[in-house]
């Protein structure tokens, strides 16, 4: 969403399960999400580049964060 006028600027439909967590990188270049489908999606906003990373886990991930230094 664009904070100044609250309009949706892009919708990312890359998960097949409910999305549990979404985070923007501190520099605003990346957005990442995790979902119940046990995948982590890393998306580079400037070039529309997607990296989908399967998480080889048995439980679920509820939080995804970037380091403050990127």
pLDDT tens profile 35-70? 887 778 888 888 888 876 766 666 667 777 888 875
SS3 state at 14: coil
pTM above 0.85, yes or no: no
The pLDDT of 30-37, averaged and rounded, is 84
Question: How confident is the model at residue 1, as a pLDDT?
Answer: 47
Cα separation, 66 vs 36, whole angstroms:
20
CATH, residue 22: 2.40.10
Q: Give me the number of domains the chain comprises.
A: 1
22 or 58: whose pLDDT is higher?
22
Tokens of residue 53, six digits: 């990373």
The pLDDT of 2-24, averaged and rounded, is 74
Question: How confident is the model at residue 22, as a pLDDT?
Answer: 85
Residue 42: inside a domain: yes
Range of the domain at 25: 1-60
């Amino acid at each position: 969403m664009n904070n100044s006028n609250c309009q949706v600027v892009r919708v990312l439909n890359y998960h097949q399960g409910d999305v549990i967590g979404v985070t923007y990188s501190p520099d605003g270049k990346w957005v990442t999400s995790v979902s119940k489908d046990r995948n982590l999606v890393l998306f580079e906003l400037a070039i529309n580049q997607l990296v989908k990373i399967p998480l080889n886990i048995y439980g679920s991930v509820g939080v995804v964060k970037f380091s403050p230094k990127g």
